[in-house]
Amino acid sequence: MLNTIPWYVALFQSLPESFLILKLGLILFRIDISVKNSFLIASITAIFSYLIRRYFITFGLHTVITMILLIILCTIIGKIKIIHSVIGTFMGVLIAGALQSIIVPLLLSISKMQINDLGIYPILNIVLFIPCGLIMLLIYFFIKKRNFYLLDISTYTEE
């Protein structure tokens, strides 16, 4: 069974994480989504993340469901082609996952805490997200300032 999360973790960790996943993942492929739409999508995703983790789903499956929800909402609310939503969301999740897999174990080791402590002290989820979120934000601003992108998929059309 998956550890449930309190509402404040959904608000202060899930919401900004979803927002940054969208903004960062999409900008890498030169796809723009407004802050308003990103915030709306992230808010809906955070609510669903809270409900998913509170009531059901085994570990790992919640991530897949959250990604699918991000893709669907990005397509509907952001009016972005589904393939672009898939690519951008996957890239954002990949970056967030890579950062978390490096930073969280490092911070847990430094603080002499265990991974199980995240379930016991939910506030740690927020505390451990802060460095990851800040790095994602810095990467986003760097990309935006330098006009960097991996691939301009906005120029590709469906035939």
Residue 34 in any domain: the answer is: yes
- The predicted model scores a pTM of 0.91
Q: Which domain holds residue 71?
A: 7-150
CB atoms within 10 A of CB 23: 24
Q: Hey, what are 102's tokens?
A: 């490096």
Residue 156 in any domain: the answer is: no
Residue 122 in any domain: the answer is: yes
Number of domains in the chain: 1
Residue 36 in any domain: the answer is: yes
Element (H, E) at 32: none
Angle at 35 between CA 151 and CA 16, to 5 degrees: 90
CB atoms within 10 A of CB 32: 11
Residue 157 in any domain: the answer is: no
Residue 132 in any domain: the answer is: yes
Residuewise pLDDT in 10s, the chain (159 residues): 456 788 899 899 999 999 999 999 999 999 999 999 999 999 999 999 888 877 766 667 888 889 999 999 999 999 999 999 999 999 999 999 999 999 999 999 999 998 888 888 889 999 999 999 999 999 999 999 999 999 988 777 555
Q: How far apart are CA 77 and CA 59, in angstroms?
A: 28
Please say whether the beta carbons of 120 and 48 come within 8 A.
Answer: no
